Amino acid sequence: MLQPILHYGCHFLLPLFVALIWFKAQWKTAYIIMILGLLIDLDHLLADPIFNPNRCSINFHPLHTYYAIGIYLILLIPKKTRLIGLGLTIHIIADVVDCSFM
């Protein structure tokens, strides 16, 4: 029961917390941009089966590989790509939390 709460809490509440603390003036825009990090889950459509509750996404799906994660971390550096990088990195953190329960 705790696993889905933590997983989806990280996906939706952690970006909200980050937006409210560090992007106060534009928190709604920051939150939406970070939530768009969920789009990397489209790579789950390439897997067979598409959903497997016992599969860890990290280093299995193309947009969840260590190489992709490295790119997400690099996106944190320039100010222009920071929100995108935060959204993608927070998404990966949520997936790591999920994998830790397996």
Taking only the tens place, the pLDDT of each residue in 37-78 is 999 999 999 999 998 988 999 999 999 999 999 999 999 999
- The pTM (predicted TM-score) of the whole model is 0.93
Answer whether 94's CB lies under 8 Å from 40's CB: no
Residue 81: phi and psi, rounded to 5, are -110, 5
Taking only the tens place, the pLDDT of each residue in 4-48 is 889 889 999 999 999 999 999 999 999 999 999 999 999 999 999
Contacts of 23 (CB under 8 A, 6+ apart): 29, 30, 83
Cα angle 52-40-98, degrees, rounded to a multiple of 5? 45
> pLDDT class for 1, splitting at 50, 70, 90?
confident
